[in-house]
Chains A and B, each alone.
Chain A
């Protein structure tokens, strides 16, 4: 049984994992960069070790250093959180070779899902619907244009190794595609070391809806229903909610079945998320599988009562899932707002010194925070500084509680996206549930222009 865990991450997710470990009586080890020495997660861990300078390639991406710390600290397992090394199959292999349990799926499955082109093929074979597009990487802009003329514009040009919105672009014409092809190939090579690109038809008025799955080492797979994450800026999520107000119970069942089928076909283990696009008719298409815990996992925990980190640890301990699909119920409605250190109008980052960080408390509010008052937000990492999660009996109550809670957040010294989130949750279209991935472009940006 796992008795001591090293969290190979930083910020709110490190704190989140430590919290469940404490609940289970598991000792925790934090690792940190020079920029994070005063971070809350470092203080609450039983032990903490410096990784190196602030930049990620000198700190949180140094897998060998993390493994040597893990061995010296005599931990049993490594929890990767999200981002950084969480989807790096070579790191998983290195953990396995060092005799450490990696809390997540096997390196083979991770490798398969890391290539979006491979993932599309695997899902199609499993009978999970995929978005019409190319089966193999397109090797030149000429070939891309040829394919594009068959599928029709608008199209999404995507990097096979991409993530976090990097290396993907919507294109409307041959000319745009030609330009985007070369610039995105270069960016994907620089960011991911793999410039392979593929094309998918751009679904209009689509929603981003994902299904959380849990799979143990004994072949049991369940899903924990869906999260709707359509409100995005720069292809990154801002507001997520569970359940989705858009899909019917039939669509929910069918998406849940697709997600379970996907996990079973892969022989997937641990917590994972199958992302889908859902078109205006309620038809769902596989987008990608995330082989780690997601940023927005708390909303699923709020409506199901399942502690997903605890389940990850149980699965890593080779235990059977303690519940079946029939045991799982959704109760109420949860919404998460990601608080970013950024300008609410231009979405440009706003690193700097937080003087005041004062958040409202209530039984229906949950905060997952990276920072405190009197805290320096550095430019080295993701701009997310906090997550505000609220629960209500229904969507209407959750929205009103979120709006109220946001208006009581007092964060001073840096710019945050709170004004943006307030504008969105108070927008009638949002209240009506008209939350497509185009929401920010169609409703938020025009609102700014008018004011």
Chain B
């Protein structure tokens, strides 16, 4: 199991996957909004989404886990 983490502080603007979805490496899974800019966060791993750790509208700090990928 691997975690996809926020690479900067910001608001969770959109989550583009649901629990159970298959994701590819480099696929955008979350879009953060920081300093009025949308920052897409890609999964570094291929697998399926085991758990979403955040919801749209949540505030996250750099390094916070966004979701868990089951490889």
Contacts and interface: CB of A to CB of B under 8 A. Distances in A.
A348 B36 contact: no
A322 to B, nearest CB: 37
Contacts of A380: 35
A233 B10 CA distance: 21
Contact of B8 (A55, A349, A381, A382): A349
A381 B34 CA distance: 8
Given A379-B9, A379-B10, A351 B35 contact: yes
Contacts of A349: 8, 10, 34-35, 37, 39
Residue of B8, B10, B36 most packed against chain A (CB within 10 A) = B36
Contacts of B8: 348-351, 379
Nearest to B7: A348
Contacts of A267: none
Contact size class for A? 10 to 19
27 contacts: A55-B11, A234-B37, A341-B35, A342-B35, A348-B8, A348-B37, A349-B8, A349-B10, A349-B34, A349-B35, A349-B37, A349-B39, A350-B8, A351-B8, A351-B10, A351-B34, A378-B9, A379-B8, A379-B10, A379-B34, A379-B35, A380-B35, A381-B35, A381-B36, A382-B36, A383-B36, A383-B37
B61 to A, nearest CB: 9
Interface string A21-60: 0000000000000000000000000000000000100000
Contacts of A382: 35-36
Contacts of A348: 8, 37, 39
A-side interface mostly: loop
Contacts of A350: 8
Contacts of B35: 341-342, 349, 351, 379-383
Interface of A: 55, 164, 234, 341-342, 348-351, 378-383
Nearest to A377: B35
Residue of A342, A348, A350 most packed against chain B (CB within 10 A) = A348
Contacts, number: 35
A23 to B, nearest CB: 31
A348 B39 CA distance: 8
Interface string B1-43: 0000000111100000000000000000000001111010000
Contacts of B34: 349, 351, 379
Contacts of B9: 351, 378-379
Contacts of A379: 8-11, 34-35
A382 B37 CA distance: 9
A333 B54 CA distance: 50
Nearest to B37: A349
Contacts of A381: 35-36
A144 to B, nearest CB: 23
A270 to B, nearest CB: 25
Given A351-B8, A379-B10, A164 B36 contact: yes
Q: Which 3 pairs of residues, A with B, have the shortest CB-CB distance?
A: A349-B35, A383-B35, A379-B34
B14 to A, nearest CB: 9
A348 B37 CA distance: 8
Contacts of A351: 8-10, 34-35
Residue of A55, A164, A379 most packed against chain B (CB within 10 A) = A379
Residue of B8, B9, B37 most packed against chain A (CB within 10 A) = B37
Contacts of A234: 37
A379 B8 CA distance: 9
Given A342-B35, A348-B37, A351-B34, 7 more contacts: A234-B37, A349-B34, A351-B8, A379-B8, A379-B35, A381-B36, A382-B36
Contacts of A55: 11
Nearest to B14: A190
A342 B8 CA distance: 11
B37 to A, nearest CB: 6
Contacts of A342: 35
A164 B38 CA distance: 13
A342 B10 CA distance: 14
A77 B50 CA distance: 54
A348 B34 CA distance: 9
A52 B9 CA distance: 20
A349 B34 CA distance: 7
A352 to B, nearest CB: 8
B28 to A, nearest CB: 13
A288 B58 CA distance: 35
A234 B10 CA distance: 19
B17 to A, nearest CB: 18
A341 B10 CA distance: 14
A354 to B, nearest CB: 14
